[in-house]
Structure 1
């Protein structure tokens, strides 16, 4: 049987670092020198392959180099657009301060705590009343099939999608309030619940980090299998009833989670 060598692969010499690291080192130097500062965009992968043709013959190696810089927080991939130098200012999400009744109870948005005046836009708000699926019913403590109000929207900060939020409120609590409208008014959903006699008095948040599902990556304009934070928040009234459950998918690279405690 004849063996055919494909690709012309040449083994590395002992002690020689991988070629993708050579490319990453050079790109890091070029970024530090401000070569891409004007637009912040790196050359396309095929262009980089030509630029580093003396080092590699495969686009896979170029992608490995870019992936290394991404993991170092130096560049980011924008779906359908290419690679950019990362200059994003993290959203500092103060979990305790943002949910304080002193915030939404005074008619303020809980986003005001996070974004420090940056442009924040809810995108594509969808509201519907529908029967609760089993997982939603379990979370809310209602019977499967009971009516719930579903509020789904994506949030953009500085025109960049950062979070997908899907909230469920028991229909009997949402009925006749602005929760069923696109604009919930000052203080948002929690202020509306307070006025309906079901003020949230405590919250629970469950967080986990995982790889984005394909639909999530497309929704938040992420690279395939980029990390996201899945956060589920439960709001309870004084009778310990769950008055809202909100499942959020956050671009993990955009957030810093902060919790202030007193001893």
Structure 2
């Protein structure tokens, strides 16, 4: 029967059906999905259509293809990143890591931590509203949760705000950068996050050990103190298949 105008493509219908079956436990985490030919037979479609349906789930990070073994439901439990509580002063202001909101006691490790003073790149200088080449401190690190790379974070803080604080050290202390800024009289009171989902560059895919077809979330966060001055800009690359991004807002 010809498909009606406005109906989703057949491969999308099949992907939606498989997604529901994964959600209701028909195919639990770690389980093997039917092969392309079996899906095509069950749904009465060409093998290519079944292949496209499986590609949708792969690109969403729900499944992964294992060479010679088939397509499996991912076993990873998503990191639920809730921006509002993790950035509240009641979190970092009391010496707790903002990661505590996300990972629910899972093991976290920051690796390859690099702390250096350098001239501000032009785009960073514009965001911080400082002169091009003015000194900033860059804190660059990769985060692993349960030994899995999930994010690369590169933060820039103006030299006049970071100088003389533990921000310039590998261990910035309880509550991290924001707690140290507050101690120095520059505590942030407002944040802005800009997000873009895209495919990774080759270097990003290698850095985060991404499966083929896995997108990333590029996130840029600016932290501002009460007078509006930007006290930090943080650029993050997240493995999109590892995260559920949540934003709660008061009515």
Q: Which TM-score bucket, shorter chain as reference?
A: 0.7 to 0.9
Q: Give the structure 2 partner of residue 259 of structure 1.
A: 247
Residue correspondence of structure 1 range 167-206 to structure 2 within 5 A: 167-206=155-194
Distance 1:141 1:118 in 2: 37
Q: What is the number of residues matched between the two proteins?
A: 224
User: TM-score scaled to structure 1, two decimals?
Assistant: 0.74
Which of 1 and 2 has greater Rg?
1
Structure 1: distance between partners of 2:90 and 2:27: 46
Question: Partners in 1 of 2:95 and 2:60 — Cα distance?
Answer: 40
Query: Conserved in 1, the CA contact under 8 Å of 2:84 and 2:247?
Result: yes
Distance 2:233 2:86 in 1: 16
Structure 2 gaps, min length 5 = 1-9, 39-47
8 Å contact kept, 1:217–1:225 = no
Matches within 5 A, 1:74-223: 74-76=62-64, 85-223=73-211
- In the other structure, the counterpart of 1:9 is none
Report if the CA contact (8 A) 1:213-1:225 is conserved. Answer: no
Tell me, which stretches of 5 or more residues in structure 1 are unaligned?
1-16, 43-47, 53-59
Structure-2 change in CA distance of 1:240 and 1:132 (3 Å) = same
Give the drift of 1:71. 3.8
What do residues 160-201 of structure 1 show as CA deviations (whole Å, max 9, x unaligned)? Answer: 111100000001111111111111110000000011110111
Q: Distance between the aligned counterparts of 1:244 and 1:96, measured in 2?
A: 17
| Distance in 2 of aligned mates of 1:212 and 1:83 | 22
Instruction: Report the CA distance shift for 1:250/1:77 in structure 2 as closer, same or farther (over 3 A).
Output: farther
Is 1:226 equivalent to 2:214 in the alignment?
Answer: yes
Q: Distance in 2 between matches of 1:84 and 1:159?
A: 20
Question: How well do the aligned residues superpose, as a CA RMSD in angstroms?
Answer: 3.3
1:67–1:262 distance in 2 versus 1, CA, 3 Å: same
Structure 1 residue 32: Cα displacement:
6.3
The separation in 1 between residues aligned to 2:50 and 2:176, in whole angstroms, is 46
Shift, 1:120, TM fit: 0.9
1:78-130 CA distance string (max 9 Å, x none): 9xxx9754011111111111000000000000000011111111111001100
Q: CA deviation at 1:76?
A: 2.5
